[in-house]
Amino acid sequence: MNSQQIGQLKIMREEITRFMMKYKFALDEMETKIEILKEEFQALHDYSPIEHTKSRLKSPESILKKLSRKGLSISLESCEEHIKDIAGLRITCSFLSDIYKVSEMLQRQSDLKVLEVKDYIKNPKPNGYQSLHLLLEVPVFLSDRVENVCVELQIRTIAMDFWASLEHKIFYKYNQSVPERLLQELKLAADTANALDHQMERLQHEVQLIKQSQPEDSLLEELRSIQISNQQFKLPSGLLEVLSKD
């Protein structure tokens, strides 16, 4: 390899690095937003709708293969225009209703632009797959410019995530040529996971009703302190009386 080729390789490497970094920064911003929502909910409601998150960046090799399969030109501009899942973020929620709560909270944020919503919960895929998919445009503030970066967000319950993970492993083992009998069993397993989600939703609702009817003394004791992250603060005695006078 001559010096001219080495110079071209350096330039290409820098361009690809810059390209990938903006998607990484978009994921960082989204994870910060989600962590804030999680902590806020935990502090105010003693409960978080978000169990955990997982992010990933498609590798340059995987991106190029996808462009090739689609018969598209090989360039960074083509990647940005046609490949919308370079940055992916998965949020796992406790209950079905939490999925839509989290989605609404994020969609209300003024700096996020919703490009597309696909609801595979209300309209599951034929194989039984369920999840809520959002394509979001996230502003990334770099040293010399602002880049609007596309992030694919998947929001699902623990049961949905468990099913999807195992379904992926089975398809990978059979190189996507799965016997019909297994396809039927996978669909049945998806229906079972869906039934479990609805049952747990009902149980959670009943527990909330029981909690709301707890004895007054116990409720007052709980209301006399607040928890912020790992710190607990006791409210000043007589605070209610002072506020009442105001």
Which amino acids are annotated catalytic? 152
The residue behind tokens 């006078």 is 245
Q: Tell me the CA distances in angstroms from 53 to 84, 116, 124, 153, 190, one per residue in order.
A: 19, 20, 22, 10, 22
> Nearest to residue 99, comparing CAs of 115, 129, 79, 122?
122
The residue behind tokens 């970066």 is 149
Assigned token pair, 81: 């225009």
Q: Tell me the CA distances in angstroms from 188 to 94, 173, 184, 192, 196, one per residue in order.
A: 22, 20, 6, 6, 12
Assigned token pair, 91: 């949020």
Phi, psi of 85 (to 5 degrees): -115, 30
H helices of 46-116, where? 60-69, 76-82, 96-107
Cα 177 to chain centroid, rounded? 29
